[in-house]
Amino acid sequence: MKKLVALLVLFPVIILQAGCGGGNSDPATTPGYTGSSSSSSSSSSSSSSGGVVSGLTIEENSDGFCHVDGSIDSTGSGFNGTGYANPTNDQTNGVDWRVSVPSTGTYTLTIRYAGIDPAEVASIAVNESSPLYAITFPATSSATTDWSTASVDVTLTAGENAINIGTSDSDGLPNIDSLHVSGDTTQAVACSFDTATQNTTACNALTGAASSTVDPAALMGYAGVDALGVTTTTGGGAAVPTTVTTFAALQSAVNNDTAKVVQVSGTIDGATSDMIDVGSNTTVIGENASAILDGFGLKVDNGKQNVIIANLTFQNSDDDGVTIEDNAHHVWVHNNLFGPHDPLDSDGALDIRRGSSYITVSWNRYVGWDKTMLVGSDETEFETVGSKITYHHNWFDATVQRNPRIRFADVHLFNNYYDGVTSYGTVSVQFANILAEGNYFDMASSGLRTTSTGGVAESPHKGDIVACGNSITTGLVEETRGLAFDPGLEYSYDMEDATDVPATVTANAGPQDPPPS
């Protein structure tokens, strides 16, 4: 049985409001929303199309019905076919369909549903791209016998189209009997999948090679891939180092794009909330394990490229420790310490957003952080689709959540150590693709998730996770979904067995003396 809570999802979407009541406010009058929609009652009807006569109707367990994050149930009456899709009551759980249309244009999607609580605005995505379409499901008198329809107009492109419905409400979606797609020549595409089979298939297809020898000083991952006009990430290269000991000197030394190596000596104090902008072709590195940036962080943004940030301790900043955003690329962040930290004091340790790509985050230690790291700052940041990021040999030491939280990007997580994380490890939402392999999870909560967490205003759509060869604490959740991607086709990497990760990471993560070269 489904509970629906009235909710306006907190991101810009094309909103189409159902015509009958449910006690919710009219999203069509909300700034940022456009469009219209309809809903019609068909209580205990045997017609899955709700009166629509042309087009394609897809029921459960038929071509075009790919997957439900839940079960196919047959309790009740009035449904068509053998039953109905019952998404599990939680955020991001939904239903996937696939159809083919002859030409690009506007098509009407009509969903036959039953749900007993006040109307909810759910989110529909087509081909995992912008825009997101909102659809409202007014309450029915029964979640299993009183069936109604709600419709939304969407743009489909010529050929195959993937359609996904999800929600950011922890009470989940209503039961869904069928999807009807307008158009006389619309066709269903066979697409049924099972998440466990997907995971096995994806792991068996990987081309990455494991090794018992890992070099903590070596660059591995996407920061070393030749792309966007940069061959690899070298930072300031062989430039003669400049040593800085004050905030002003550091700020002046890094704010241009000439090749430079800036060496931090001792503790540099800065006003809280300050972020220093780092130019292209820059290495910022602590001269030893005692180099500290206290009260401020570093930012790489606006297309800056070829940057290395290493061997530093970040503490007491009200903003991020490191921010990488606005199409920055080829950034390597390694051997840093973020914390120790009061989890209530500030924002993320290291956040990546708005189209930034070809980034490696490795051999860092995060101590006591709450919102440790994220990729993609909100549910409409489609410019981050396809961003390429590698996290390896990081030590999440008694952190809370977002280790990291990933939206939209392609992310490779390998040989990371989740040590006493208290909320969840890594979550993949909003169509992110994650390959997680050889990680060690020593924690009591959920390790890898495709379901959002934390209440209202969270992500409505799942991402994908392929999990291979991880060491998981007994009883720990490891959710998988999709086929993700194969980073071994883009770079080579040495990966140790997951059981060796704690010893290797605790010995080599964080600032070193002398610095890694």
Distance from C-alpha of 20 to C-alpha of 139, rounded to nearest angstrom: 9
Give residues with Cβ within 8 angstroms of 407, minimum separation 6: 374, 375, 376, 377, 378, 379, 381, 384, 429, 430, 431, 432, 459, 463
Distance from C-alpha of 157 to C-alpha of 326, rounded to nearest angstrom: 29
Catalytic site includes residue 353: no
Beta strands in 280-355 (DSSP E): 282-286, 292-300, 305-310, 313-315, 322-324, 329-334, 337-338, 350-352
DSSP 390-403: EEES-EEES--B-S
User: Are the beta carbons of 335 and 314 closer than 8 angstroms?
Assistant: no
CA triple 75-97-92, angle to 5 deg:
75
Is the CA virtual torsion 222, 228, 232, 234 positive or negative? negative
User: Are the beta carbons of 107 and 153 closer than 8 angstroms?
Assistant: yes
User: Are the beta carbons of 237 and 330 closer than 8 angstroms?
Assistant: no
Six-digit token pair at 331? 């950034």
CA neighbor of 208 nearest in space, from 512, 484, 508: 484
Give residues with Cβ within 8 angstroms of 469, minimum separation 6: 203, 437, 438, 497, 498
Helix (H) or strand (E) holding 204: helix 195-205
Six-digit token pair at 110? 């009509």
Six-digit token pair at 28? 């069509």
Is the CA virtual torsion 382, 384, 387, 391 positive or negative? negative
User: Are the beta carbons of 187 and 75 closer than 8 angstroms?
Assistant: no
Distance from C-alpha of 237 to C-alpha of 25, rounded to nearest angstrom: 58
Dihedrals phi, psi of 395, to nearest 5 degrees? -115, 105
Distance from C-alpha of 418 to C-alpha of 506, rounded to nearest angstrom: 11
**Residue 514, SS3?**
coil
Q: What is the DSSP letter of 235?
A: T
User: Are the beta carbons of 373 and 351 closer than 8 angstroms?
Assistant: yes
Instruction: Kindly name the residue from 354, 402, 407, 481 that is annotated as catalytic.
Output: 402
- Residue 506's identity, in one-letter code, is T
Return the active site residues: 402
